[in-house]
Every structure is written in C-alpha cells, then in structure tokens.
Amino acid sequence: MSRPSPGRFRLQAPPNLDAEHGLDLLRTMVRIRRFEERCVELYSAAKIRGFLHLYIGEEAIATGVMAAIDLDDAAVSTYREHGHAIAKGIGTDVIMAEMLGKVDGVSRGRGGSMHLFDAATRFYGGNAIVAGGIPLAVGLALADKLQGHDRVTVCFFGEGAVDEGAFHESINLASLWNLPVLFACENNHYSMGMALTRAEAQTDLALKAASYAVPAWRVDGMDVLAVEEATRKAVTAIRGGEGPVFIEYETYRFRAHSMYDPDLYRDPDEVAAWKQRDPIPALASLLTELGHLDEDGLATIEAEADAEIDVAVTFAESSPLEPLDDLERFVVSEVTP
C-alpha cells in the first residue's frame, strides 16, 4: 500500500507568511512536544497513570487548525488530545495538574489525560469512546445555528473512528441540517494496531464524506502551513453557511498508541521515514531559510517552552488533591442555571 508512506518532504512557504505568525506556530508545536515529553517522564515516575496517548508527530494539525479558527469557536476532541487542548489555549499548568489528578486540573482531577474539558476556551473534551464525541459536535453546531451564533465547531477524530456507525449517523445529520461543523479527521494510518488498509474496504476517506454530500479535502498534516490554509478555507465556507466540510489530515504518530502498546505492528522503516517529516524541524528550517529564525531564536523558543512546562509541573505538583468528601460532587449539578 502506498498510503502510509510519508509523501513529499519540504514545506512550501506561502507567499505572504508573516514572520511572527510563523514563529507562533513553531512555539505552539514546540510547547505541545515538550509538554508531552515531560508527560512521558512523569509517567515513568508513576505520577501520571491511566492511559496516556501521545500526539508526538501530529502537532502540526492541532496547531494549524486552531490558528485558523476563532477564539469562540468550539473544539471536540478524543483521548489523544493534549495537542488540541494546548493549541486551543488551555494553560499547560492546569492541563498538567489534570494529568496528575489534582484539584486544580482542568477537570478537577476527574478526567485525566483522556478527559480535558474547558468551558472558557470552549473545549468540549476529551472523549475516550472512539467516535463518541462526533455527535456531540453536531449538537454543539446545531445549538450555535439555532441561536444565531456565527461559530464553528471543529470535531477531531482519528481515521479509525470512520469505522464506527456513530461517525456515519453524525455526518449525515450535520450535512442534512447544514450545520457549521469541521470534521477534522486525523489520519495517522493506524487505529491502535490496525492499519487503515486492513480496517476499511475503501481507504479513500473523501468518498465517505462525498456519500453524505460533504465536501472533502486531503491535506498534508505534517505541514502546519498547509493545515492552517486548508482549515481557514474550510472554516470560511462553513461560517458562510455552506454546511460541514471534511478534511483528512494525513499524519503519523511517532510513538506507540499508548504507553501500554509494544508497537509490534509497524515496520520500523515506516516509522523512521515518517520521522524524517517531523513538522517541527520542518517549520524551523523553513523559517530559518526565510530569515525569520536562527539558532538562538530556536533555542530561545525551546527554552521558553521548557520553562513553561517546569512551571506547569511545579504548579501541578503543588496543587492539592480534591478532598475525599467531594467524591460525589458533580454527579448532579450544584446550581440551577
């Protein structure tokens, strides 16, 4: 199969690339990367537990997508969500506190890695049932439309979610009702150990979207600039009332599915080839070529990210645990809205 091969290698600079914007994208990707690398350490130190699904290698998608949407647009994510959460604007401190199960965590320690939620940034979780968040995104968009809000909901899911009936029922409804949803399919070619080619009889995902009359594009998910540009176009169309769009972002996870996964099912050469396409050095060299970045600049970005994560870890470590007496809080609401 040719699909899982990494494709073309170098980023193309759009003619109008603003230096500061390019650097911002780089900063976000580096922050996500560093955050997750620290999570691996904390996992080894048994401070983070449960499932930990890393986004390493896929940072260009969250970064480019969030750069293309507005602050009050909504996002719905999966269990592989640190990147989405950080790029959406949630603080790494409260995310880290969540990873450690602390009361200052975004979900007060009840969610952990897979269930980050943040009302302030309209981040609607963190869903650990494959495809379980997709109908929620349709509903969020329906509510926006009914209330006359000019807002878009971005729904992230993996290519594996396309196997689930929930995806089909949801995209049909979104299309039928012409709702402002971006179906953001992160095709990293594997769902756990299952290659897309072994899971879907037809691996051209655009055909599935087309069968619901939803326009579908395929984008290089390792190219943050391409991700941003395509997403911006889609979001403009969606906001313009043209109904949902499906974008397949082609990407690859550099690490195993989760910390439990021995990763026996992927060819090391395939992994190595994709690692050559790491979106972070790719953007860094482009910015360097364009004269927007030098070694010092990159070092500063990395150091700032490290420092931020240091602060986040300190915050998380020093955050208290939820008192045991509060275990049964939030099963039902405490206030009537």
Partner 1 sequence: MTATDATTRPTPETVRMTLREAHKQSLRAALDHDERVFLMGEDIGAYGGCFAVTMGLLDEYGPERIRDTPLSEIAIVGTAIGAAMNGMRPIAEIMTCNFSLLAMDQIINNAATLLHMSGGQFNVPVVIRTTAGAGRQLAAQHSHSFEPYFAHVPGIRVVSLATHADARGVLAPALEDPDPVILFEYPRLMTMEAEVPVDPDIVDLSSAAIRRPGSDVTVVTYGATQHTVLDAAEALAADGIDAEVIDLRSLRPLDDATVFASVARTHRAVVVEEAWRTVGLGAEVAARIAEEAFYDLDAPVARIGCAEVPLPYAKHLEDAAIPQVESIVAEVRRVMHRG
Q: Binding to partner 1 (CB under 8 A): which residues in 306-335?
A: 321-322, 324, 327-335
Nearest to 155 by CA among 214, 199, 113: 214
Report the residue number, 51 or 265, with the smaller CB distance to its own copies: 265
329 contacts which partner out of its own copies, ligand TPP, Mg ion, none, CB within 5 to 8 A by kind? Answer: none
C-beta of 213 vs 307, nearer to its own copies: 213
As a whole number of Å, the end-to-end CA separation of the chain is 53
Contact between 133 and Mg ion by CB under 5 A: the answer reads no
Q: In the window 134-173, what residues touch ligand TPP (CB under 6 A)?
A: 157-161
Among the listed residues 55, 11, 3, the one whose alpha carbon sits nearest the alpha carbon of residue 186: 55
166 interacts with its own copies by CB under 8 A: yes
Counting contacts by CB under 8 A, is residue 200 touching its own copies?
A: yes
Classified as helix, coil or strand, 115 is coil
Q: Give residues 144-163 in contact with its own copies (rule: CB under 8 A).
A: 163
The footprint of ligand TPP on residues 248-277 (CB under 6 A) is 257
- H-only helix segments in 89-182: 92-99, 134-146, 165-176
Residue of 295, 289, 280, 292 whose CA lies nearest to 63: 280
Check binding of 111 to partner 1 (CB under 8 A). yes
Identify which of residues 78 and 121 has a Cβ nearer to ligand TPP in the complex: 78
CA atoms within 13 A on the CB side of 40: 13
> Letter for the amino acid at 280?
I
Residues of this chain, 89-128, that bind ligand TPP according to CB under 6 A? 128
CA Rg value for the chain: 19
Report CA-CA distances (Å) from 1 to 6, 196, 198, 301: 12, 10, 10, 38
Residue 161 CB partners (closer than 8 Å, separation 6+): 78, 130, 131, 134, 167, 185, 191
40 binds partner 1 (CB under 8 A): no
Applying CB under 8 A, the span of 94-102, 148-156, 164-172, 320-328 interacting with its own copies comes to 164-172
Binding site for Mg ion (CB under 5 A): 158-160, 188, 191
* Binding site residues, its own copies, CB under 8 A: 163-169, 172, 175-176, 198-202, 207-208, 210-214
Using CB under 6 A, list all residues that contact ligand TPP. 80, 128-130, 157-161, 186, 188, 190-192, 257
